[in-house]
Amino acid sequence: MIIPYERLLSFCTDCFMAYGFSQPDALRVTDVLLTADLFGIESHGIQRLARYHDEIRRGMVVVGAQPAVVRETPVSAIIDGHQAMGQLVGSFAMNLAIDKARQTGIGLVVVRNSNHYGIAGYYTRMACEQDLIGVSMTNTEAIMVPTFGRRAMLGTDPIAVAMPADPIPFLFDAATTVVPRGKLEVMRKKGQPLPLGWALDASGQVSADAGAVLEQIIGQLGGGILPLGGVGETLGGHKGYGLALICELFTGVLAGGPTANHLSSVAASADLSHSFWAIDYGMFDDKKAIRSRFSAYLEELRCSDKAEGQNRIYTHGEKEIENQKARLRDGIPVLDKTWQEMESIASELGLYDAGLFARL
Amino acid sequence: MIIPYERLLSFCTDCFMAYGFSQPDALRVTDVLLTADLFGIESHGIQRLARYHDEIRRGMVVVGAQPAVVRETPVSAIIDGHQAMGQLVGSFAMNLAIDKARQTGIGLVVVRNSNHYGIAGYYTRMACEQDLIGVSMTNTEAIMVPTFGRRAMLGTDPIAVAMPADPIPFLFDAATTVVPRGKLEVMRKKGQPLPLGWALDASGQVSADAGAVLEQIIGQLGGGILPLGGVGETLGGHKGYGLALICELFTGVLAGGPTANHLSSVAASADLSHSFWAIDYGMFDDKKAIRSRFSAYLEELRCSDKAEGQNRIYTHGEKEIENQKARLRDGIPVLDKTWQEMESIASELGLYDAGLFARL
């Protein structure tokens, strides 16, 4: 099913206002969600609405809560998210990092006591749009099994980095697992088997069953997603595991929140931690010169020799910007299962009668 | 062949003094090399001596050159390495980053016009020993093929991060390729086939022939090492490729040096760029509290359930510290080929007659 962007924007904003968020806050949360859908990262888009609905209903997300600075220096801050919606905490924190970068050259802001904040790349793009380098990380409930282990002890633990470039900015946003949890959720909704090398079952064997792996993770029965680099050390699985540890360090450990293995998606509070960096690259040289040589390098990469059978080399952000353009024009694909969830949420919130919604 | 650490220390220091380095400089370079051997990273240890010998002889490394600060702010600096030995440039730059972190909380120093600096993890450990978080990256001549490509366009592009912890610090140091170039050099010296999934031949097919891949890279004939995550996107190869791009951004692009695809190990100058970060994590909370919760998490990881057939989960730095202890006691393994190279270098430098060296 393909839905025009404007309809999803209006529907999503109405939902968040119905929960009690102010219009600017509802628009911000909606923008983070729909940016994921526009970028083609459906795993983090409107298919997550049911999950946010549940978290707001349960009081895990506190509507109207305001994040607050606990301690700061000219280059740093630590923020208590006060269980506010993660997208609001994240925007507040990245804006503070951007302010600090404008003053000193670098802002590094860590956050505790937050909720799921959507795609990490949303916040790095905020810095990028201000002509700064942006970095963001978040921990999540445990889903990654460390090398030689069989129990999830680290999160999907994404690392995002953005840097301005012409004509297409560099927008890197990647889980340190082989794939993020959301991709397993989508495979489960589609009823498709997982590629081998994504996930382990409770005994530590490679599994193709998305539903079983997700249930085992939620039930803390063992198993989980593999680190980038896969099983063991031969192809570098210990590197993905180490990158996740770096993410846990710069989120939960520095911010004073729990690490992934002490988080639970069914607990009273999500207790997630994030970090946000903004770097004014003008500290090092004329900004135009730096931006121009980075842009030239990205172009060299895109134009370099292709592997047999391939006709294109991408730089990071290219697919996202192209998807965004196409989906703003043609609409956003929504899975039937997600559509049913939206219908049920609309009904519960008294936003639409069923007949009206059916014609959306 | 197993050689006592002290003999290698003395031999290596003598070599570098014979090239004309001061004793403190010779000791520093030797310390970087032998730290790699002590850590068990033979690819970056004394087996590289022949390469450094060649680079010094050719004038690619300028003996006696001094790195200089080009531009700085309280949180940043850019340094021209003046073609000095990379280990000397690297130590100078990390010390400057450490000074800035002590003053402001964060120091970010980028370097251009340098040479190979050995293991990135040497410099992050310098910060770690000062109770700071250390980060270091370097670009290298092109060896990584971007996803869907068949020509090496990015370096091995390692990212190292160190953070104090008890009883064992976190010392992460990883190429963003599946393996670093040095591992291919060691496999060639040993005459062993490469595991499939490490490297591509000139046509873009997976190759097991270390010698052929290295020759194709040096001759710029195509092929190279795969990014972490392997071939294509299914297992996340585009993530390793993106991490390498981040490394190129924070080294060559910010520092104003060439990117990997414009570097050559046979050029007149290596033109390598590095970056060094020191972060005073005391900005965020009591340092003991942060260090203690990080240490507890590392211990939880080591103690978590093992996969069937495995009896140990490592945290990063653990193997290195254990190797260091064992090798300081038992000696350092040196390959026959490396031994022959050392003998030839000693003879050329007039340090030992052949008979004496044979009894070393």
Can you spell out the DSSP letters for B112-133?
Answer: EEE---S-HHHHHHHHHHTTSE
Portion 3-62 of A in contact with B at CB < 8 A: none
Picking from A151, A170, A304, the nearest residue to B149 by CB comes out as: A304
Average pLDDT over residues B135-149: 96
Q: Where are the beta strands (DSSP E) in B192-270?
A: 199-200, 206-207, 224-225
**CATH T-level assignment (fold) for domain B62-178+235-316:** Ribosomal Protein S8; Chain: A, domain 1 (3.30.1370)
Higher pLDDT, A248 or B360: A248
SS3 of residue A74 by DSSP: coil
Neighbours of A289 (CB within 10 A): 11
Q: DSSP character for B207?
A: E
Residues of chain B with CATH 3.30.1370.60: 62-178+235-316
- What does the mean pLDDT of chain A come to? 94
Q: Give the phi and the psi of residue A341 in degrees, each rounded to 5.
A: -65, -40
Indicate the pLDDT class of residue A353, thresholds 50, 70 and 90: low
- B259–A73 C-beta distance less than 8 A: no
Residues B298 and B317: their CA atoms lie apart, in Å, by 11
Contact of A204 with B307, CB cutoff 8 Å: yes
Neighbour-count burial for A14-23, b at 16+ CB within 10 Å, e otherwise: ebbbbbebee
SS3 of residue A351 by DSSP: coil
Containing H/E element for B204? none
The sheet with strand B76-80 has its strands ordered as B68-73, B76-80, B106-114, B272-279, B133-138, B159-163, B170-174
- B172–A310 C-beta distance less than 8 A: no
Residues of B in contact with A230 (CB under 8 A): 230, 235
| Domain A180-225: top CATH class | alpha beta
- What does the mean pLDDT of chain B come to? 94
pTM: 0.96
- Give how far A81 is from chain B: nearest CA, Å: 15
Picking from A161, A279, A305, the nearest residue to B150 by CB comes out as: A305
Residues B160 and A242: their CA atoms lie apart, in Å, by 10
Containing H/E element for A34? helix A23-39
Task: Tell me the CATH number for domain A61-178+228-316.
Answer: 3.30.1370.60
Portion 89-118 of B in contact with A at CB < 8 A: 104-106, 108, 110
Picking from B76, B151, B307, the nearest residue to A304 by CB comes out as: B151
Indicate the pLDDT class of residue B357, thresholds 50, 70 and 90: low
Least reliable range by pLDDT among A17-31, A173-187, B119-133: A173-187
Residues of chain B with CATH 3.30.60.50: 179-225
Q: Is A282 on the interface with B (CB under 8 A)?
A: no
Indicate the pLDDT class of residue B151, thresholds 50, 70 and 90: very high
How confident is the model at residue A352, as a pLDDT? 72
Q: Evaluate if residue A181 carries a pLDDT over 70.
A: yes
Residues of chain A with CATH 1.10.1530.10: 1-57+333-360
Residues of chain A with CATH 3.30.60.50: 180-225
What would be the CATH architecture of the domain defined by A1-57+333-360?
A: Orthogonal Bundle (1.10)
- A235–B284 C-beta distance less than 8 A: no
Q: Is B266 on the interface with A (CB under 8 A)?
A: no
Residues A12 and A142: their CA atoms lie apart, in Å, by 28
Q: Evaluate if residue A23 carries a pLDDT over 70.
A: yes
Pick the CATH number of B1-57+339-360 from 1.10.150, 1.20.1070, 1.10.1530, 2.40.160: 1.10.1530
| C-alpha to C-alpha distances, A59 to A79, A84, B226, B298, B304, nearest whole angstrom | 20, 10, 46, 32, 31
Residues of chain B with CATH 1.10.1530: 1-57+339-360
Indicate the pLDDT class of residue B353, thresholds 50, 70 and 90: low
Picking from A151, A229, A297, the nearest residue to B259 by CB comes out as: A297
Examine the predicted complex and report whether its ipTM is higher than 0.85: yes
Picking from A73, A105, A149, the nearest residue to B304 by CB comes out as: A149
Residues B359 and A216: their CA atoms lie apart, in Å, by 61
Residues of B in contact with A161 (CB under 8 A): 246, 249
How confident is the model at residue B189, as a pLDDT? 81
How confident is the model at residue B360, as a pLDDT? 53
- Give how far A123 is from chain B: nearest CA, Å: 17
| Cα-trace Rg, chain A | 20
How confident is the model at residue A102, as a pLDDT? 98
Portion 121-160 of A in contact with B at CB < 8 A: 133, 145-151, 153-154
Residues A219 and A142: their CA atoms lie apart, in Å, by 11
**Bridge pairing between strands B106-114 and A272-279:** unpaired
Q: Evaluate if residue B330 carries a pLDDT over 60.
A: yes
Residues of A in contact with B240 (CB under 8 A): 228, 236
Task: Tell me the CATH number for domain B179-225.
Answer: 3.30.60.50
Indicate the pLDDT class of residue A228, thresholds 50, 70 and 90: very high
Cβ-Cβ pairs closer than 8 A, A with B, add up to: 242
- Give how far B307 is from chain A: nearest CA, Å: 5
Average pLDDT over residues A143-170: 97
